Structure 1
C-alpha cells in the first residue's frame, strides 16, 4: 500500500499548507493589512519549501496535475450551480447592462494582454539576442485574464504539440504573478475609492472578520443546506457525486471522440484531455438544464456547490504556485517580470478608465474587472467586497451574467484559436487577438448610447428599491 501514498500526501501537503497559510494570514499584521488570501500565503510557503528541497521526494511536477484538476472541478461545479434569480423586483436589464461593461473590459483585456505580451517578448529577443518564442509572452493573457487552469492547459498543448519549450511553466508563473498583481495594485485602488466615499454601498467597511480572515463565533454565516438524509448519503458526498458523474461522462466522451478525430490536427487538440474543462463545463450546463427541466432542483443545493467551487479555487491557487520550477523562473526572470509589470499597468488603467464610463457603480465595476483580469472571478469578488461588503449592489449579480457572457463572446479565441496559436503565425495571431481588443473597445460608444437611452426612458431601476 505504500506506493499509493505519493499522490495522497501531495494533496495532504496542500491542505495542510492551506491551513497554515490561513492561520499566518490571520496572525501576522502585515499579511492582514495586505488582505492577501491564505491560499497565496500557502502556495508561497510551499514554493519556498520545494525550491529549498525541504520536502523530500516531492517536486513542482507533483502539483501540476492537481492544479489542472482543481481548476477543472471549479469550472464544472460553477456551471452545475443554478443561475442567480433577480430579487425584490430587481431590474434584469440593469444587471445585463452592468454585466456587458464587465464583459467588455475582460474581452478587451484578453486581446490586449496577448498582443502586449507577444510584442514585449519579441522585443526582448531582438534586444538581448535571445531566441525565445513570442508566445511565451502572449501566454500572459491566459495566466492573467483567464487564470492558472487555462494557462496550464494551453501551455501544455503548445509545449507538447508544437514544441514551445517551457510554455506550461511560464503560463503557471504568469498566473501566480497575476494573483499577486491583483492584490498589490487592486487593494490600494479599492481603499482609495473607499476612503473617498466613491463607492455606492455607504455601509461597506473593512470589518474585523474580513481583516482577520476568520469569522467571529457570533458572526459565522450558514453555508449550504442538507438536501439528502444522512441515513442515505451525506449531502456533501451527494453533490460531489453529481460532479463525479459529470467527470466520468466527460472522460468517456473525450475517449470516444479521440479516435474519430485523429486525422485532424485542430480537432485532435480540441478533443484532447488538455481541454477537459471545456467539455466538462458543457456537460455540467446540460446536466443543470436537465435538473431544472425535470424539477429536481430541490435535490441540489447551490450554496454547497459554491463551496465546492471556492474550495477548488483555493486548492488550485496553492497547487499553481507550488508548480513553479525555480530553474525556469530564474532563467526567464527579466522578460517575465517585464511582461507582467507592463500588462498589469495597462490592465489597471484600462479597467479604471472603462469602469468610470459605466455609470454610478463605476468604482465597483473597475476594481472587480481588474481582479477578474489578473486572477479569477473569485479575485474580483474579493476586491469588490472591500467596496460592497454585504454584496448589496447589483455588481455581484452582474458577475453571474458576466461569467456566461465572456464565454459566449470569446468562443472563437478561447476554444479554437488559443489551442492552436502556434499554427497561426505572427501576423494572424496579432490580427485575431488585437482585433478582438479593438472590437471590444469600439463597442464602448454603443454601450454608452444604450446606457443614455435607458437613463432617459428607464424600464426599471438598476437596483432594487428599498422597502
Structure 2
C-alpha cells in the first residue's frame, strides 16, 4: 500500500467527520440525543462501506462495492489499523498537564464517588460473567471472555473497545471486538437517552439541588457550537512559536509518554518470558494503551520534579486527546462487522440489557444512599461514564449543573485519577480478557464479586453514614439562624 493511499484514507476520514458535524448542526433528533459528530460520521461510513452498501449492491448484482463499499478496500485497511494506534494517544494524554493531588484530598472529596464508580465497574464484570457462565456459554456457545464485554464496551467506550481489537485477535475470538464496539454504541446512546430522562424526572420531582426547571439548551448548544459572543481558548502557549510550535511540543510529550509505556510493557513481557511464561503467559496479551497512561503519569511526575511541569498545558492535551478520539471512533465504527453482531444477536441483547439494568439500579438505589448531598448531580456523571465514556458523564453533569454550583465536577475529576488507571480502559480492563482466556471465568468472577460487594458495603456502611452525619451537623448548625424561636414576628 502506497503512502498516497494512506494519505487519501485520512482525507476521506476527515471528510466523513465533517459531514457528521453538518448533520449534527441540521438534524433536530440528532441534537436531542446529544450524539457526537464522530458517532454520526462513523455510522455514515459504516452505511457507505461493504457491510451495508456493499452487501446491498452485491444483492442487486453489482459486485463493484462488495469489497470496500464506497471507499475501497485499501482505505478500509488503513482505517482498521487506526484504533489500535490512536487509543494509546488518548490514554497517554489523560494525566499529562493535570495537577496530581495528594492522597488525602482525593480520599476526602472523591471517596464516595470512587466507591460508587467501583460498584458500577465491578458490577458490570459480575453481571457479564454470570451471564457468560449461565447463558451465553451453555446455550449460545460463546467463550467465557464474552463476560468482559459489558465493562469493555460500557465503561470503556468505543476507544477501549477498539483498542482491544488486537487482544481479541490474539486470543482467537475476533468477533469479540465487533461485539464490544456494538455494546459501546448501545451504551453511549442509551447513556444519553436514559440519563436525560432521569434528569428530567429528577427535576420534576424535586430531587435536584441546582437546576429546578427543565434545562433548555440554546441553539448553539444544540448544534454543538459556541455563540459569536462566547470566547473559549483551545489552550495556553507554553513555548514561543519561534523556537517550536506549542502543539508540536505537546505532541512530542505524548510520543515520549507512549515510548515510556512501551518500554514498561516490553520490560514486563521480558520478565514474564524469563520467569513464568512456561507456566502461564498473561502479559503477552496486554495492550499498550494502559501502559501509555502510566507513561504519561511518570512523565508528568518527572517534569514536575525537574521544575518543567508548566511546559504541558492541559487544554492543548485535551485537544490532542479529543482529535485522536474522534478519528478513532469514526474508524472503529466504519470497520465494524455487522455479520458478527447478527450471528451473536441474542448474546449482544442480553449483555446490553444486563448492563443497562445494573447501571440504572445503582444510580437510583446506591448513589442516593452513598452521597445524600447533590446525589443526582454527582451520581449522573458516574452513570454516564459507566454507560458510555467520560464525555457522556460530563455532558449529563453539565445539563443538571450548568454553572458548576455543586462539587460534582471536582469530585468526579479527583475520582478519575484513582479510577482510570484500573477500570474503563485501565489495567483491569486490559488484563480481563487474557485472564479469562488463561484461567477461565471463575477467578475473575470471584475477585470482581468480592470487589463489588466490598464497594457496596463501603458505600452504604461507611460513606453513606458519614455523609449523612455531616449533612445532619450542617443542618443543626444552620437551623437556629433560619427557623429558630427568635425568628418571625413574635
TM-score normalised according to structure 1 size: 0.86
Alignment of 1:301-312 (within 5 A): 301-312=313-324
Determine if contact 1:176/1:320 at 8 Å carries over to the other structure.
Answer: no
Determine if contact 2:359/2:386 at 8 Å carries over to the other structure.
Answer: yes
Determine if contact 2:269/2:283 at 8 Å carries over to the other structure.
Answer: no
Change in CA separation of 1:246 and 1:268 when aligned onto 2, cut-off 3 Å: farther
State how far apart, in whole Å, the 2-side matches of 1:378 and 1:387 are. Answer: 14
State how far apart, in whole Å, the 1-side matches of 2:351 and 2:110 are. Answer: 28
State how far apart, in whole Å, the 2-side matches of 1:41 and 1:238 are. Answer: 32
Please state whether the residue corresponding to 1:262 is helix, strand or coil: helix
Please state whether the residue corresponding to 1:433 is helix, strand or coil: helix
Partner of 1:282: 294
Change in CA separation of 1:227 and 1:440 when aligned onto 2, cut-off 3 Å: same
- What is the Cα deviation at residue 124 of structure 1? 4.0
Determine if contact 2:158/2:184 at 8 Å carries over to the other structure.
Answer: yes
- What is the Cα deviation at residue 236 of structure 1? 1.1
**Which of 420, 425, 431 pairs up with 2:435?**
420
- What is the Cα deviation at residue 419 of structure 1? 3.2
CA RMSD of aligned residues (A): 2.9
State how far apart, in whole Å, the 1-side matches of 2:6 and 2:365 are. Answer: 46
After the TM superposition, which of the residue ranges 56-65 and 137-146 deviates more from structure 2? 56-65
Partner of 1:464: none
Query: Which is higher, the Rg of structure 1 or of structure 2?
Result: 2
Determine if contact 2:16/2:41 at 8 Å carries over to the other structure.
Answer: yes
State how far apart, in whole Å, the 1-side matches of 2:444 and 2:393 are. Answer: 28
**Which of 150, 155, 166 pairs up with 2:160?**
150
Partner of 2:14: 15
Partner of 1:378: 391
State how far apart, in whole Å, the 2-side matches of 1:282 and 1:245 are. Answer: 12
- Structure 1, gaps ≥5 residues long: 87-91, 462-467
Change in CA separation of 1:347 and 1:397 when aligned onto 2, cut-off 3 Å: same
Partner of 1:181: 190
Partner of 2:457: 442
Please state whether the residue corresponding to 1:226 is helix, strand or coil: coil
- Structure 2, gaps ≥5 residues long: 54-68, 478-490
Higher RCO (CA-CA < 8 Å; seq separation 6+): 1
Please state whether the residue corresponding to 2:296 is helix, strand or coil: helix
State how far apart, in whole Å, the 2-side matches of 1:267 and 1:140 are. Answer: 26
Change in CA separation of 1:185 and 1:253 when aligned onto 2, cut-off 3 Å: same
Partner of 1:67: 83
Q: Deviations over 1:71-129 (max 9, x none)?
A: 2211111121222789xxxxx85x745522332222122222223223334444577x5
Determine if contact 1:121/1:137 at 8 Å carries over to the other structure.
Answer: yes
Determine if contact 2:210/2:406 at 8 Å carries over to the other structure.
Answer: yes
State how far apart, in whole Å, the 2-side matches of 1:440 and 1:290 are. Answer: 33
Please state whether the residue corresponding to 1:217 is helix, strand or coil: coil
Q: Deviations over 1:290-323 (max 9, x none)?
A: 2222221332212111222223222232223223
Name the count of aligned residue pairs.
Answer: 449
Partner of 1:366: 379
